[in-house]
Amino acid sequence: IREDVSDLLMADPYLDASDIEVRVENAEVTLSGTVASRAEKRLAEYEAEQVAGVVDVHNLLRIRPGDRGGSEETGVQNEGGR
């Protein structure tokens, strides 16, 4: 599962997965590291959910310091969580 998730993240042209760490335990995927925006954070979680055998995704990704994190979309800065 870990390799499949990592491959899918790296293949997505809309996602810079170079700073994403993927861990798998009991078919639950944990994503950690940093991404450029809230859109990339959501996309990474979506991509991980598409992999066969994944039962849950824990999205611990953070928005890189200095990036707006998509606040223009929601008017709210990223507070972490899913």
Would you say the pTM of this structure is higher than 0.85?
no
C-alpha Rg value of the chain to the nearest Å: 12
Per-residue pLDDT, 68: 55
Structure tokens at 24: 């798998």
pLDDT of residue 7 exceeding 80, the answer is yes
As to burial, measured by CB atoms within 10 angstroms (0-12 exposed, 13-18 middle, 19+ buried), residue 36 is middle
Per-residue pLDDT, 63: 96
Contact of 33 with 59, CB cutoff 8 Å: no
What digits encode the pLDDT tens for the residues 21-66?
999 999 999 999 999 999 999 999 999 999 999 999 999 999 998 7
